[in-house]
Amino acid sequence: MNLRRITTALGTMAAAALVALSVPTSAFAAEGILTVNGVSYENPSGCYPVDWFPSSVTNNTNAIAEVRSGPGCTGQVQWLVYPGETYNTETAQSVFIL
């Protein structure tokens, strides 16, 4: 193999390694079911809206769900819903889970 092929092969492997390491952590989801106002999400990840009040969040996953005061998972965290817990709210507008 000549030097040019070796250099090209090493460059290709380095680029592939960089892409593999730059995958965002949001690709990982919680395992289980998150239920927001009766709507169940299997292996959830990310932000979910709270569409009406009063509302409930049941967390049957292996991750903690953050109940947030603003839409689109903005605002302050109002409550942390741990695995196996249910939280009822009249003010939250979204739920975030990783």
The predicted pLDDT at position 74 comes to: 97
The predicted pLDDT at position 8 comes to: 47
CA distance 78 to 95: 10
Q: What is the pTM assigned to this prediction?
A: 0.70
- pLDDT of 92 > 50? The answer is yes
The answer to whether the CB of 91 falls within 8 A of the CB of 68 is: no
The answer to whether the CB of 88 falls within 8 A of the CB of 65 is: no
- 5-57 pLDDT, tens digit per residue, is 554 444 544 444 443 433 344 457 899 999 999 999 999 999 999 988 899 99
